[in-house]
Amino acid sequence: MPELPDVENFRRYLNSTALHKTIEDVDIRQESLLGNIQDADLRGALLYRTLEETMRHGKYLFTRLDSGDWLGMHFGMTGFLDYYKTNGKEPAHSRVLLRLANGHILAYVSQRKLGSLYLIRDGVQAFIREKKLGPDALDLSREEFIRTLTSSGSMAKSALMRQENVAGIGNVYSDEILFQAGVHPRAAVKNLSEKTLDKLYQSTGRVLKKAIDKDADPGKFPQDFIIPQRHDGGQCPVCSESLKKIKVSGRTGWYCPICQSR
């Protein structure tokens, strides 16, 4: 599922391709993806408008129309954006297509149809409050991060993944953050020392920024990252111990039993 680094790269991709180009046609092929509006209303809001700027909060991408409204996008599982020429090959599983005046198409692609599109008229901050999203994972100060996590009263992996606490971290990057900080996924946050909590905070920023810099591509990640090894037979990149699966709050994670001993 796309997490903060993926969506940040989607944002940068959108900035470099489809901004300031008039939308001449809107092709909505999957109405179930429309989170808060009917297809006719979305067409009307987008037609002959331009996308002017972007912002991201957690796993959500927002782009402002020249009308002042915002188009919000959540990518669910397998979702992404694709920008291509009108006479080019359309990507499989394209669900919403914006045909632009410059002869290109911006496609919202979602194989499993688990994402959502939103038309936001009252501003992005109101939408964030409505969705009960916590602060973006890269915007938290050390004090805010520690206070938020310790007040959750939950296990470390669950606390990082709960979007009401910290927006943007999911199953994959929570594993990496915990590994880099040497924290067991089931460790109770309230029992972690201040030094360990500080390591967790530092790890969060370092992991997410590095993933963004590497285009969220596991093949480009540093050799000491656990993400490329999150599979059966995977080994710890530090001590070579076999990684173990673990269930935390219904989600399957991976950890090193040596480097992340409880």
Of residues 1 and 6, the one with the higher pLDDT is: 6
- How far is it, in rounded angstroms, from Cα 50 to Cα 195? 48
Range(s) within the chain of domains with CATH label 3.20.190.10: 4-130
pLDDT tens column, 7-66: 999 999 999 999 999 999 999 999 999 988 889 999 999 999 999 999 999 999 999 999
142-255, CATH topology level: Helicase, Ruva Protein; domain 3 (1.10.8)
Range(s) within the chain of domains with CATH label 1.10.8.50: 142-255
pLDDT score for 153? 85
What are the residues whose beta carbons fall under 8 Å from the beta carbon of 217, sequence distance 6 or more? none
4-130, CATH topology level: N-terminal domain of MutM-like DNA repair proteins (3.20.190)
Q: CB count, 10 Å around CB of 51?
A: 24
Q: CB count, 10 Å around CB of 72?
A: 21
Task: Report pTM.
Answer: 0.95
pLDDT tens column, 57-80: 999 999 999 999 999 999 998 999
What are the residues whose beta carbons fall under 8 Å from the beta carbon of 246, sequence distance 6 or more? 185, 186, 252, 253, 254, 255
